[in-house]
Amino acid sequence: MTLALYDTMTRRKRLFEPRDPARVTLYVCGPTVYNYAHIGNARPVVVFDLLFRLLRRAYGEDHVLYAANVTDVDDKINQKAADEGVPIDVITRRYLDAYHADMSVLGALRPTFEPRATETMAEIIDMIGRLVRNNAAYQADGHVLFNTEAYSDYGKLSRRPMDEMIAGARVDVAPYKQNPADFVLWKPSKPGEPVWDSPFGPGRPGWHIECSAMIEKTLGIPIDIHGGGNDLIFPHHENEMAQGICATHDQEYARYWMHNGFLNMGSEKMSKSLGNVVLAHDLVSKYPGEALRWALLASHYRQPLAWTEQTPLNAKSALDRLYGALLRAADVEAETTPPGAAFMAALEDDLNTPRAYAELFAVAQRLETAPPAERRRLKGELLAAGQLLGFLKADPEAWFQGAVDQAFKARIEGMIDARARARAARDWATADRIRDEIAALGVEVLDGPDGATWRIKEPT
């Protein structure tokens, strides 16, 4: 495989060469479990899941180690636990379970390791101790701070000059900081908050140190690939790298840095204040998981992704075309064959999923018209390529019956009931609106003497 990845550190595409092909390592910053994940949180999960699948295919399943952390101690978690009057692990268990369930509907494989902050405390404290001994950190006022002046390359990843980082940090600089850009490794807990003993006094870790300690514990420093959303480049990844290098005296922390673009709601940022937050947790009960995954991978991962109400519906229609081709080739026995060369070339070019999708459609089109002998190979190719991306796992007939997704079925039936109630109340405007909403989901309602039945519209 000749995989080229865009590396944020060098700002160019580089040929991927693992340090050890028998032990390829990938780390991605994971969730803080205090609420349901929104659809923007799901984007890196699906993008790096695709990379994980591609690496496993190239190097062998047993030779790729993927770690993603779970932040289970944090101000927002503490606040939520205090609001509900329960211990923090009641909150974190609830939302971690939901996260796992939602991400598995999106077809994301579980990482090899999912370290939790609360279970990595000894390693975190040990790493902070080494930073203090290496004069890269200092204690002040119950805190331990990283001394950014101890690391001459600070700012290298985000390409920010030090004076700019200082200006950025100058808002409300804590008096115990030697340099405004210095960041917290350890801090005292407030009354009622979880607390751990340490050589620096009782308290809890800052967020940045968690990832470096977990990488060292699960994968070892340096790793091959570090991933995350591009909002993490500064300060989180800049800080991770500074700590990791100063604690280990290694020249390198991650050999490749990969960052995915933002998911926006149409042209706006998704935010609580705009009231436009869409939860992955809600979407998985409305649309087939494959359709949501398709939508998340439909733009190149480094580009912004504009999400609208139409996005999952478009994705569903795209998959309908592929499943339609498979349905019409139901009598063709698929050959066991790898995905086509053009498809693989697209993925190996920095995960170019839009080009890979175009190749899927090209193969599906040829499958419809090719002579019988060739159809066996084309069907095999379509299945292999689709499944490498995490699609086409359903039986085509079941896909069109909607049987692949009970939640989708329940939603349609709920809408049909609502339409029947509106008709009974002679509220024709509401009934028509619901009929249009049902049609927009690719479903046809058939009114009969015993009420309405429905079916998924035939693929065109």
Q: How far is the CB of 253 from Zn ion (least distance, A)?
A: 11
- Binding Zn ion (rule: CB under 5 A), the pick from 9, 29, 247, 356 is 29
Q: Which stretch binds Zn ion (CB under 5 A): 2-10, 23-31, 361-369, 380-388?
A: 23-31
Q: Which is nearer to Zn ion, 214 or 347 (CB)?
A: 214
Binding window for Zn ion (CB under 5 A); candidates: 29-37, 98-106, 339-347, 404-412: 29-37
CB of 236 to Zn ion, least distance (A): 6
| 223 φ, ψ (degrees, to nearest 5) | -105, 165
Identify which range of 25-33, 80-88, 250-258, 336-344 contacts Zn ion by CB under 5 A. Answer: 25-33
Length of the chain: 460
Beta-carbon count within 10 A of 392 CB: 22
**How many whole angstroms separate alpha carbon 35 and alpha carbon 460?**
40
Contacts with Zn ion by CB under 5 A: the residue count is 2
Report the nearest approach of Zn ion to the CB of residue 240 (Å). Answer: 6
Task: Supply the minimum distance, in Å, between the C-beta of residue 215 and Zn ion.
Answer: 8
Nearer to Zn ion, 185 or 211 (CB): 211
Q: How far apart are CA 74 and CA 221, in angstroms?
A: 25
Q: How many whole angstroms separate alpha carbon 113 and alpha carbon 92? A: 17
Nearest residue to 34 (alpha-carbon basis) of 8, 5, 73, 85: 73
Q: Which residue lies nearer to Zn ion by CB, 233 or 364?
A: 233
Phi, psi dihedrals of residue 237, rounded to the nearest 5°:
-75, -35
Lookup result for tokens 């002046």: 149
**Residues 158-177: x where in contact with Zn ion by CB under 5 A, - otherwise, as a string:** --------------------
Segment contacting Zn ion (CB under 5 A): 76-84, 209-217, 278-286, 416-424? 209-217
Query: Which distant-in-sequence residues (6+ apart) come within 8 Å of 232 by Cβ?
Result: 29, 259
Helix axes 121-133, 207-218, angle to 10 degrees: 100
> For residues 92 and 299, which CB has a smaller minimum distance to Zn ion in the complex?
92
Q: Is 327 exposed, middle or buried (0-12, 13-18, 19+ CB in 10 A)?
A: middle
Give the separation between CA 121 and CA 431, rounded to whole angstroms.
57
Binder to Zn ion among 64, 108, 181, 211 (CB under 5 A)?
Answer: 211
Only one of the segments 1-9, 205-213, 266-274, 433-441 lies at the binding site for Zn ion (rule: CB under 5 A); that segment is 205-213
Closer of 211 and 416 to Zn ion (Cβ): 211
Give the residue with the Cβ less far from Zn ion, 244 or 380: 244
Stretch of 27-35, 98-106, 344-352, 388-396 contacting Zn ion, by CB under 5 A: 27-35
User: Contact letters (x/-) for Zn ion, 77-96, by CB under 5 A?
Assistant: --------------------
The CB-of-301 to Zn ion minimum distance in angstroms stands at 18
Considering only 22-30, 86-94, 181-189, 242-250, which stretch makes contact with Zn ion by CB under 5 A?
Answer: 22-30
Question: What gap in Å lies between CA 320 and CA 395, rounded to an integer?
Answer: 12
Backbone phi, then psi, for 135, in 5-degree steps? Answer: 60, 25
> Among residue numbers 246 through 285, which ones bind Zn ion (CB under 5 A)?
none
By CB under 5 A, residue 329 contacts Zn ion: no
Q: Which residues contact Zn ion by CB under 5 A?
A: 29, 211
